[in-house]
Amino acid sequence: MTKRILLSSPHMSGNEQKYINEAFETNWIAPLGSNVDGFEKEISAYAGVEDSAVLSSGTAAIHLALELVGIGQGDTVFCSSLTFVASANPILYLKAEPVFIDSEVETWNMSPDALATAMADAQAAGKLPKAVIVVNLYGQSAKMDELLEICNLYDVPMIEDAAESLGSSYKGKKSGTFGKFGIYSFNGNKIITTSGGGMLVSDDIEALTQARFLATQARDQAKHYQHSVIGYNYRMSNILAGVGRAQLEVLDERVQARRDVFDRYAQALGEIEGIHFMPELEGTYSNRWLTAMTLDPEMIKITPYELMDVLDAENIEARPVWKPLHLQPLFEGCKFYPHAEDDVVSVRLFETGICLPSGSNMTVEEQEKVIDVIKEALL
């Protein structure tokens, strides 16, 4: 059997072992040490923020961000619907209520029109959300100017879920730096990885200090073990932080490699009638973490799921676009605001979308095989 072409596999730089060895040589194995401190400083410098807290996952970062803005039982949090479940699960951790916001066509991300409607309704009901979680899907930044204007109008903090968009930018500013807090993920399939891990970033140094406190079991300053509030075991180990430091050194190269992958797909498949690739909003720069495209059912003879089956038969991994959270059984009964009364963008993208293998370590020959299989299936 030929080697499987994966959707987005880890891509090591070759320099990780240097930082791992340093952790072993100094015997700093726990969630403390020079790699933890260094990774936080280096991410902060890269993103252009005041401070960062390196954590065990991006989900943990969202959880702490929500706690830091005061989310509690009975509160509401607005969240992008077209995203992975981890964007919204922490809302449930805190016994709050998610309200899901549709996408728009220019970025596939949160619709300012839907958000404006949801905010107006919430104000009329006398219960504004305590936060808005905006997700940058597949590396593409949402319409930050419009979304921030709405959040600021109602004095509601934004949490920017940039788990998939590290290395992207919006009007020259790094993704993840627009809200009160930003979130990065270093899961095994992300553009850089620590096998598992995440980062909480902010210009609020005091809040990030509190995040580290909460992430280390909220241990009070006392010689004995004393705890006054609930804490979590959310800090990253010094070993994995070393992997992250080496990965960060090649982030810009990884972004360019994924953009090259996208460009080859777009050039080879973009002229096929009925194929539309995820757009890149003017003034933004996407890391193109995954190349995503839609198949117009009126012009393409097979569905995305049928195409995935064809690819799988050739040992090629592909995935559907995220199933919108407002359609998930877990969130049955939650409110949802469409982009327009007659236009639910997230559902249309889910029903017609497919994500293609996009790894920065995929060879040109492997990508050409993917392209050939798709062409044979569609033409």
For 286-307, the pLDDT digits (tens) are 999 999 999 999 999 999 999 9
Residues of the chain with CATH 3.90.1150.10: 251-378
Supply 375's token pair.
């062409």
Beta strand 97-101 with 275-277 is unpaired
pLDDT score of 379? 84
> For 257-267, how does the pLDDT look when each residue is reduced to its tens digit (9 = 90+)?
999 999 999 99
Q: What is the largest CA-CA distance in the chain?
A: 71
pTM (two decimals): 0.96
| Angle between helix 251-269 and helix 364-378 axes, rounded to 10 deg | 30
**CATH number corresponding to 251-378:** 3.90.1150.10
Contact 235, 216 (CB under 8 A): yes
What is the chain's Cα-based Rg? 21
Residues with pLDDT less than 50, the chain:
1
Domain spanning 16-248, CATH class: alpha beta
Distance CA 239, CA 42 (A): 16
DSSP 290: S
Measure Cα distances from 290 to 190, 276, 318, 324 in Å: 9, 14, 10, 17
Distance CA 322, CA 303 (A): 16
Backbone angles phi, psi at 218, to 5 degrees: 50, 50
Residues of the chain with CATH 3.40.640.10: 16-248
β-sheet bridge partners, residue 233: 216
Residue of 147, 171, 179 lying closest to 281 (CA atoms): 171
